[in-house]
Amino acid sequence: MPQTLTPPAPAPAPERAPAPGTAPDPELRALAERHGLTVSGARPSLPEYTRQLWQRRHFITSFATARLTAMYTTAKLGQLWQVITPLLNAAVYYLIFGVLLDTRRHVPDFIPFLVTGVFIFTFLQNSVMTGTRAISGNLGLVRALHFPRACLPISFCLAQLQQLLFSMGVLGVILLCFGQLPTWSWLLVLPALTLQFVFNTGLAMVMARLGSRTPDLAQLMPFVMRTWMYASGVMFSISVILQGKHLPKIVELLLNANPAAVYIDLMRFALIDSFTAKQLPPHVWAFAIGWALLAGIGGYVYFWKAEERYGRG
């Protein structure tokens, strides 16, 4: 009798790897835990993340110094541009606002007033702008090396603080030239700058996370920062603007609580004799501390929550 051929039994289907986002096999998980293996690129806990950042504090300071040095290596004047740039901005604002619009008539010691505002806002502006590109502009470094990504926005803000300290030396000379002799109030510069640095760093972390997902944000930020500058009393006195004006309470509150204006006013109060406590907004130190804590802690946690996603996609 002819033999009938029976089709071979189908080979068993190969086991599929678990889809991304699904729980791993319990046996594999137990094996990994037994040998101390962890998920590659997993986000550490917040205390562990903070500990890793502290361990890399020397890298952060060295990276900030190297970045600041490299910024002007191709310019003949080199590091002098750290001071020349804000001074040129102050000269332009003096010509437009001080001379043409005559805002200097309402502000005693207008040149120290203006230069202080320009230097302090430049510190904020550059921190935010460099923070926005901290991740998206350094993808090669992020993808090649394993380190807490918060090192980047922190080091960028530290570089801006170093640049501000150079400018503060020039500001001191300008103050002396216009009769502003050192007093005990100059010591208030230290807590004011410390609070602003914490605020700038927290805000830079927020912008670094947003900029990592939306690189086009870096093109929009110059317009945002320019608008913020005009609302922060850099070229004019907010207290003079509010005098005799019946503005809505919400507008007065927003102008007085504006963090950029708060830190600028504190620096002017510390350095300029004619800028008295009457010109400070109510509860100015409470606003300064509150903004620093809100931006510093909130920005740090917000940045940490996306740690495992930086440099991917």
CA 65 – CA 81 distance, rounded (Å): 15
CB 260 within 8 A of CB 163: no
Q: What's the confidence (pLDDT) of residue 15?
A: 44
Flag residues of the chain having pLDDT under 70: 1-41, 72-79, 244, 313
Place of tokens 């996370």: 209
Q: How far apart are the first and last CA of the chain?
A: 65
Q: What's the confidence (pLDDT) of residue 253?
A: 85
CA 227 – CA 212 distance, rounded (Å): 23
Domain ranges of the chain: 53-308
Closest CA to 218 of 302, 311, 121, 135: 135
How many Cβ atoms from other residues are within 10 Å of residue 265's Cβ?
28
Segment 50-106, tens digit of pLDDT: 999 999 999 999 989 888 777 766 666 666 777 777 778 788 888 887 778 777 777
CA 165 – CA 68 distance, rounded (Å): 12
Segment 238-248, tens digit of pLDDT: 887 777 677 78
CB 262 within 8 A of CB 121: no
Closest CA to 64 of 141, 163, 198: 163
CB 234 within 8 A of CB 228: no
CA 255 – CA 233 distance, rounded (Å): 9
Q: What's the confidence (pLDDT) of residue 39?
A: 56
Q: What's the confidence (pLDDT) of residue 260?
A: 95
Q: What's the confidence (pLDDT) of residue 157?
A: 95
